[in-house]
Amino acid sequence: MTRRDIFRRVAIAVLIGLVVGAGINEVTFAFLRADERSPRRIELVIPPGTAGQVARGEQPPDLPEEMTFVVGDTLVVHNQDSVDHQLGPLWVPAGASASLTLNLQANFVYECSFQPTRLFGLDVRLPLTLWTRLQGIVMSGVPLGILLALYAVVGWPQKKKTP
């Protein structure tokens, strides 16, 4: 087998690995479509009667127990209840609003007065960008291509030259 044949097999194997890596990553990223957006303002409304429901140990039906954000999002909490509420560093008086800008990728669990568990989860993720997608393709496709290339050079039957 000549160097040219080896190079051709390796190049084809790496190309196949990148194509397969791209396919696998796109399927994975399809589940993350919520993160494929620019930062925005997200509003959370505490409805009237929430404090009474929480005191009875009930989950207010209009309030999630956790939320997912993108770095740079701003959470605005509107308190329509007759009781003051707290969400982590935010103190939201009755009939007022407060906001929190989320500039750090992390999973937060804040003390919260409008949940029966007294906890509220905030999952802040990096936005999904073209660069993120390309990194995923390269990080999965190149190793797969190298493994295919090793098989192509070592395990793939070679043509015997006839004299």
- Domain containing 108 — which CATH number? 2.60.40.420
* Helical (H) or strand (E) element with 39: none
In the structure encoding, which two tokens stand for residue 60, read together?
Answer: 């207010």
Give the pLDDT score at 96. Answer: 97
Give the pLDDT score at 48. Answer: 95
Give the pLDDT score at 5. Answer: 80
Backbone angles phi, psi at 41, to 5 degrees: -95, 125
pLDDT lower than 70: segments of the chain = 1, 32-36, 156-163
109 with 68, same domain: the answer is yes
Q: Is residue 160 assigned to a domain?
A: no
pTM: 0.64
Give the pLDDT score at 155. Answer: 73
Domain housing 9? 3-32+129-155
Q: Is residue 108 assigned to a domain?
A: yes
Q: How many residues does the chain have?
A: 163
* Number of domains present in the structure of the chain: 2
Strands 90-92 and 66-70: unpaired
Give the pLDDT score at 33. Answer: 63
In the structure encoding, which two tokens stand for residue 108, read together?
Answer: 């937060």
Q: In which residue are the tokens 């969400």 written?
A: 87
In contact, 76 and 44? CB cutoff 8 Å: yes
Return d(Cα 104, Cα 81) in angstroms, integer: 29
* Helical (H) or strand (E) element with 144: helix 130-150
55 with 78, same domain: the answer is yes
